[in-house]
Chains A and B, each alone.
Chain A
Amino acid sequence: MKRGTLMIPLLLIAAIIVSALAVVRTKHENRALVAELETLRTERERLDMEWAQLQLEEATLASNNRVERIAREQLGMVEPRDYEIVDQTPVAGAAR
């Protein structure tokens, strides 16, 4: 009985120390994860920006105005004015 009463506080003290260390560890892990989350958020923002810029660049390069100018002036292309429309409609039923 006497031994038992001594063991309980000792066990509790050990448990407290273990849990305190666990808290430290968890806190550390939490901070590491927060830091990682932060880097990922920054990365996402950067990618968002890049995406917007690439979209813009693509739209600028592919603008009808520019394509037409290059086609007409550099490549010497013209619109077909004299053409014939060929009906290539598949026979109904054949498509199924």
Chain B
Amino acid sequence: MSARRSVTPPAEPVGGWRRAFVLGALGVGACVVFGRAFQLQVIDQDFLAAEGSKRFIRNVVIPAHRGAIVDRRGEPLALSAPVESLWAVPQALLDSPQHVEAVAKLLGRRPAEFRKFLEARTERKFVYISDPLSPAEAKRVLSLGAPGVFSDPAYARYYPAGEVAGQIVGFCGRDGAGLEGIEKSQESVLRGKQGSRRVIRDRAGRIVEDNLEFAEAQSGEDVQLTIDLRIQYLAYRELKDAVIRHKAKGGSIVIADSATGDILAVASQPGFNPNNPGERKPPGTRNRAIVDSFEPGSTAKPLLVAQALELGLFQPTSTVDTGPGWFKVGALTVRDVHPGGVMDLAKILAKSSNVGAAKIGLTLGPEAVWSGFQRFGIAEPIYTGFPGEAGSVLRHYSEWGQIATATASYGYGWSVNALHMVRAYAALANDGLMPHLRLIRNTRPVPPQRAISANTAREVRHMLETVVAPGGSATRAAIHGYQVAGKTGTARKLSDTGVYDPNRHQALFVGMVPAERPRLVGLVVIDEPGDGGYYGGLVAAPVFSNVMQGAARLLQISPDGTDTPDLAPPDAPRLTVALPPETPASAPKAKAGAALVKVAEPRL
């Protein structure tokens, strides 16, 4: 050891700079490394993290479905179903001619025409080449393996009931938002909210982690209408038949459950098929029963008679002398079609005497006539939740003179929509309790209001039976096996110049079945019938009869109207089921409905 030490040459003095140089170089190196680390970790951190995420983190959209619209029995009226929209990059597809031909064949287009279509768009990178297809069809096209053909999944709205319920249900636009009808008014309920989640994907595209961020998709809720599709179909078919047979300009029909106020059918003509975008324009899309108003004409007379009885100024046996069938009120001459001399109230209704109604109205005075119509909710909106509901026009009685009072008494000078008339007659049908009309089942039931006393309602109903009985103005409204109560109306329409046109009419019939204890109320309006008469009793009454006959059969309404569960006391055994059984999904709503019935109990 000591020897080795002895051979070790004495250390030459080392220049101090070398030490400084090494340390300095190391220091610089460390600074560079540290600085680079600082740059990457602190300065560029956001950018780099984002770039990294881009390579494996994906946002995945969780689709939300739009809710369906169903009828009271759960039959779908509007449904969303998946579709595929095929699109192509024109140049890429044109580069392989045999594929162009095959794709054209599968899409049902002529190859030459399809080629031209693509050639006209070679500049573009994205062209839809088909209407939305079912997933199976789209798969067939894609399986050709044509270059530049892709598909986008989407949801399309279908309307299985087609034109039968088109005007109520409405339709959606291309972006999936409701544009008309219930689709529009219930948009916030139907619309779903798309969810999204962030996931980590591996190289093969499989999702390996998905616990990053998560927003749940909220599918739209279903909307259940009070419509019964079977009755809706029947009503639509009969209305369409009548409109065609009488070469009318249009028409509408409303059927409602008089006890609960549920609207079972609303249809109008001309109609449209919501599945066909080309037909989605007025006048077809116009739901005349709700958005159009009309002068009720003679159908207002029972309301006037009810008010006269209610005030005690007239009795059912009271008579009115209608004279020779005409009567002068100032400058106005009121005329009857069938002069009848001295008539009692029932006969005034049966013969639809304008003179009789005008005389009753003038005896009551403007205020009483006005408040009589008010009782039946003529001036109140219906609040069905349907967009564009027509308001009624009933001027205040202080603006009425003698002439206005007389004309208002037989239904001119004020206007309502079809639902107003149905609601008013539902009050007569439901022993004076006027129900709140509903079109949407999910809404909370509103208790009915008392319009008139039960006695008055029954008396007016008896009178209305004579309208349909032999000798009345609407014998064609009769239904085999049932007693019908109702009233015809033949209202002249205002011409463009503002006077009543003698050649343009609206034929109306409004009635209830069965007369003793009504369950259904219905209104039929035929607008400007051109062929085969224009009287309500000739044109509108047969439609009413056909529809109500079918509806009474479908709903199992017994001929005398007794034992219908909603009118029976709550503790009575349920003997017949008048309305179809609830679907399980709506069971809680049925309970709410039962609560309403208790209020509507007509034992007073």
Measured CB to CB, the residues of A under 8 A from B are 30-31, 34-35, 37-38, 45, 48-49, 52-53, 55-56, 59-60, 63-65, 68, 79, 81-85, 87, 89-90, 92-93, 95-96
B210 within 8 A of A: yes
Name the A residues within 8 Å of B308 (CB-CB): none
Tell me, yes or no, whether B292 is within 8 Å of chain A by CB.
Answer: no
Q: 8 A-B Cβ contacts within 8 A?
A: A31-B209, A35-B206, A38-B206, A59-B79, A64-B164, A64-B229, A64-B234, A65-B164
Q: Of A31, A55, A60, A95, which one neighbours B573 at CB under 8 angstroms?
A: A95
State the 3 A-B residue pairs at the shortest beta-carbon distance, nearest first: A59-B160, A64-B233, A49-B82
- Asked if A92 and B573 sit within 8 Å, CB to CB, the answer is yes
- A-B contact sample (12 more), CB < 8 A, given A64-B230, A83-B481: A52-B82, A59-B160, A59-B161, A63-B161, A63-B162, A65-B162, A79-B550, A83-B480, A85-B481, A85-B559, A92-B572, A92-B573
Q: Which of B81, B563, B575 contacts A53 (CB 8 A)?
A: B81
Contact A96 B76 (CB under 8 A): no
Nearest chain B CB to A78's CB is how many angstroms away?
13
Closest Cβ of chain B: how far from A26's Cβ, in Å? Answer: 12
Q: A92 and B575: CB pair below 8 A? A: yes
Cβ of B430 under 8 Å from chain A: no
Nearest residue, chain B, Cβ from A64: B233
Q: What B residues does A64 contact at CB under 8 A?
A: 164, 229-230, 233-234
In angstroms, Cα B576 to Cα A60, docked, is 31
Least Cβ–Cβ distance between B378 and chain A, in angstroms: 34
**Which residues of chain B from 449 to 499 have a CB within 8 Å of any chain A CB?**
480-481
Nearest CB to that of B230 among chain A residues? A64
Knowing A31-B208, A65-B162 touch, does A95 contact B575 (C-beta < 8 A)?
yes
- Decide if B79 touches A55 in the complex (CB within 8 Å): yes
> Nearest A residue to B208 by beta-carbon distance?
A31
Are A89 and B233 touching (Cβ within 8 A)? no
- Check if B586 is an interface residue, CB within 8 A of chain A: no
Contacts known (A30-B209, A52-B80, A63-B160); A89 close to B573, Cβ less than 8 A: no
- Interface size bracket, B side: 35 or more
Most chain A CB within a 10 A radius of its CB, from B63, B75, B160, B573: B160
A85–B557 alpha-carbon span in the complex (Å): 11
Q: Per DSSP, are chain A's interface residues mostly helix, strand or loop, or mixed?
A: helix
- Determine the residue in chain B with the shortest Cβ distance to A31: B208
Which residues does chain A contribute within 8 Å of B599, judged by CB atoms? none
| Minimum CB–CB distance for A59 against chain B, Å | 3
Q: Taking the nearest CB of chain B, how far is it from the CB of A25, in angstroms?
A: 15
Task: Tell me whether A65 and B233 are in contact in the complex, defined as CB-CB below 8 angstroms, given that A38-B206, A53-B134, A92-B575 are known contacts.
Answer: yes
Q: Which residues of B contact A55 (CB under 8 A)?
A: 76, 79
Within 8 A of A (CB), among B186-206: 206
> What is the bound-complex CA distance between A15 and B442, given in angstroms?
61
A81 touches B164 (CB 8 A): no
Contacts of B162 in A (CB 8 A): 63, 65
Say if the beta carbon of B339 comes within 8 Å of chain A.
no
| Contact B573 A96, beta carbon cutoff 8 Å | yes
* Of B81, B233, B480, most A-chain CB atoms within 10 Å: B81
Q: Which residues of A contact B206 (CB under 8 A)?
A: 35, 38
Q: What CA separation (Å) do A38 and B550 show in the bound complex?
A: 51
Alpha-carbon distance between A52 and B164 when the two chains are bound, in angstroms:
21
- Find chain A residues with CB under 8 A from B160 CB: 56, 59-60, 63
Mask, B554-568, CB within 8 Å of A = 1, is 000011000100000
Closest A-chain residue to B575, C-beta based? A89
Residues of the A chain whose Cβ atoms lie less than 8 Å from the Cβ of B550: 79
Cα distance A96–B575 when bound, in Å?
10
Residues of A within 8 A of B87 (CB): none
Q: Are B81 and A52 in contact, CB atoms less than 8 angstroms apart?
A: yes
Residue contact A48 to B229, C-beta cutoff 8 Å = no
CB distance from B89 to the nearest CB of A (A): 27
Roughly how many angstroms separate A35 CA and B205 CA in the complex, as a whole number?
11
Is B326 in contact with chain A by the CB < 8 A criterion? Answer: no
In the complex, whether B158 has a CB less than 8 A from a CB of chain A is yes
Complex CA distance for A49 and B153, rounded to whole angstroms: 11
Contacts of A63 in B (CB 8 A): 160-162
Closest Cβ of chain A to B79, distance in Å, is 5
Q: Are A34 and B75 in contact (CB under 8 A)?
A: no
Q: How far is the CA of A35 from the CA of B79 in the complex (A)?
A: 31
Q: Give Cα A52–Cα B210 distance, bound, in whole angstroms.
A: 28
User: Which residue of the partner chain B has the closest CB to A89?
Assistant: B575
Q: Which residues of A contact B220 (CB under 8 A)?
A: none
| B558 lies within 8 A of A34 (CB) | no
A56 near B158 (CB under 8 angstroms)? yes
Q: Are B481 and A84 closer than 8 Å at their CB atoms?
A: yes
Contact A34 B208 (CB under 8 A): yes
Chain B's closest residue to A84 (CB) is: B481
Q: With the chains together, A87 CA to B560 CA distance in Å? A: 10
- With a cutoff of 8 Å between Cβ atoms, the chain B residues found around residue A79 in the complex are 550
Tell whether A90 pairs with B75 under 8 Å between CB atoms, given A64-B164, A65-B164: no
